[in-house]
Amino acid sequence: MKSIVEPLKYEKEILKLLDQRLLPLEEVYMTAKTIEDCYRAIQDMVVRGAPLIGFTGIWGMALFLKNNPKVVQPQFEQAAEYLKSARPTAVNLAYEIDRCVEMAKKETHLSALYPKLVQHALNEMNNSYEKNLAMAKFAEIELQKIYGDRPLNLMTICNTGTLACGVLGTALGVIVHMNQQKKVKEVYASETRPYLQGSRLTSFELIKEGIDHKIVVEGAASYLMKNKMVDAIFAGADRIVENGDTANKVGTSSLSIIAKYYGIPFFIVAPVSSFDLSLKTGDQIEIELRDQNEILKYKDNYIAHPDAKALNPSFDVTDHSCITGILCENGAINPVTVENVRKMAGSR
Ligand code: MRU
């Protein structure tokens, strides 16, 4: 399956990361040669989106072994902790790196793990298309139960497509799939301040897919829903905890609250690797606070007074009571209850 864009590619044993900070105007790849390169690429958001951050984590651990073939287990685990700290909210990073550590525990000599990690990273990425497609098909079934087969107005936030997942995508994958089934009337992409994942990245992908859409500012959500311009909303997830509370890009929670007020179905779409049952409620999720200059400046230019201060939480937590359903590769969680979340998390 040929992707519309490759956010991460491994060519002739070289790892190349598409610099998403420059999209949509420039498509430039940076070469990652070390675990530090991967750490910086994740932290500076050269790569972003929970699944892609996770894949980059595996590559980072592979590069660590490639450059340090004589390391022993404690050093490997130390490197894992370092890489996991690049961004705290998306559980996929820790999940994928912890799996690398588990693989390491089975080796007598860690040098043997390098080719296995490379293969593991390639497999994980290759398998994710089928998983994303399965989520999209479960979403289609949920929508069909509510609306039958009529074309729908769908809304999304942030970027959850190929740029975030390496292939198709989660919430955006649903929209692409629904469009292929000729079941999409209009798409609204929330611009997603301050990093503009919606207007820079989601719109870029929708244009490449040939899907008509409109970018809307965050504050337009209530206008759209009050005027019956949205039939359903799909968002991704960075971490889903035991009661179904879900961390995702800041602004997702307010979207879900407005949707509940107007009675509009609000769905989370995520792989089972996004579940973290070690946390009971969303209050326990660490929310990443990013640099205030992401808000105060656009590129190098101030768009606020140079003396102004800003608070920049990168994520928020959507309460499970505002989520109609959670769609995973192994099925749909609807209603969102502790029992149903546990069952789905146990299916991985
Ligand atoms: O800060 P970002 O761009 O990494 O945030 C991305 C999101 O919040 C996505 O919705 C989430 O990671 C799911 S991506 C399939």
Q: What is the pLDDT of residues 332-342, one digit of tens each?
A: 999 999 999 99
pLDDT digits (tens, 9 = 90+) for 219-274: 999 999 999 999 999 999 999 999 999 999 999 999 999 999 999 999 999 999 99
* pLDDT for 191: 98
pLDDT digits (tens, 9 = 90+) for 325-334: 999 999 999 9
* Banded model confidence at residue 347, pLDDT cuts 50, 70, 90: confident
* pLDDT for 44: 97
* Banded model confidence at residue 147, pLDDT cuts 50, 70, 90: very high
- How close is the Cα of 237 to the center of ligand 1, in Å? 7
Q: Which atom of ligand 1 is nearest to the CA of 157?
A: 10
Class of domain 132-344 (CATH, top level): alpha beta
Of residues 1 and 12, the one with the higher pLDDT is: 12
The answer to whether 232 touches 143, Cβ cutoff 8 Å, is yes
Q: Tell the CATH topology of 8-125.
A: Four Helix Bundle (Hemerythrin (Met), subunit A) (1.20.120)
Q: Which of 19, 238, 245, 276 is catalytic?
A: 238
Q: Which residue has the tokens 């958001």?
A: 45
Output phi, psi for 234, to 5 deg: -125, 130
Task: Give the closest residue to 230 by CA, choosing from 319, 146, 320.
Answer: 146
- How close is the Cα of 304 to the center of ligand 1, in Å? 26
Q: Which residue has the tokens 């936030």?
A: 157
- Break the chain into its structural domains and give their ranges: 8-125, 132-344
- How close is the Cα of 247 to the center of ligand 1, in Å? 9
* pLDDT for 30: 98
| Residue minimizing CA distance to atom 6 of ligand 1 | 49
Q: Which string of DSSP letters, residue by residue, matches 42-99?
A: HHTTSS-SHHHHHHHHHHHHHHHHHH-TT--HHHHHHHHHHHHTT-SS-HHHHHHHHH
Average pLDDT, whole number, for the chain?
97
Task: Give the closest residue to 75 by CA, choosing from 118, 113, 130, 44.
Answer: 113
* pLDDT for 176: 98
CB within 8 A of 99, min separation 6: which ones?
Answer: 58, 120
Q: Could you tell which of 131, 238, 268, 317 is best to mutate to test the pocket of ligand 1, judged by most ligand atoms within 8 Å of the CB? A: 238
Radius of gyration (Cα) for the chain, nearest Å?
20
* Banded model confidence at residue 12, pLDDT cuts 50, 70, 90: confident
Question: Token pair of 41, please?
Answer: 């690429």
The answer to whether 213 touches 203, Cβ cutoff 8 Å, is yes
* pLDDT for 1: 61
**Does the structure show a pLDDT above 70 at 139?**
yes
Q: Which atom of ligand 1 is nearest to the CA of 197?
A: 3
CA pair distance 269, 265, nearest whole angstrom: 13
* pLDDT for 70: 94
Q: Which string of DSSP letters, residue by residue, matches 312-323?
A: -B-EEEE-GGG-
List, chain by chain if needed, residues with CB within 6 Å of any ligand 1 atom: 48-51, 90, 158, 160, 164-165, 170, 197, 236-238, 248-249, 314
Q: Which atom of ligand 1 is nearest to the CA of 249?
A: 8
Question: Token pair of 345, please?
Answer: 């998390």
**Does the structure show a pLDDT above 90 at 93?**
yes
Beta bridge partners of 247: 239, 317
How many residues belong to the chain? 348
CA pair distance 233, 32, nearest whole angstrom: 36
For residue 6, the Cα-to-chain-centroid distance in whole angstroms is 15
Task: Encode 194-230: b = buried (16+ Cβ within 10 Å), e = exposed.
Answer: bbbbbbbbbbbbbeebebebebbeeebbeebbeeebb
Please confirm, yes or no, whether 238 is among the known catalytic residues.
yes
Q: Which residue has the tokens 């149903």?
A: 340
- How close is the Cα of 302 to the center of ligand 1, in Å? 25
* pLDDT for 348: 79
pLDDT digits (tens, 9 = 90+) for 33-52: 999 999 999 999 999 999 99
Q: Which atom of ligand 1 is nearest to the CA of 50?
A: 12
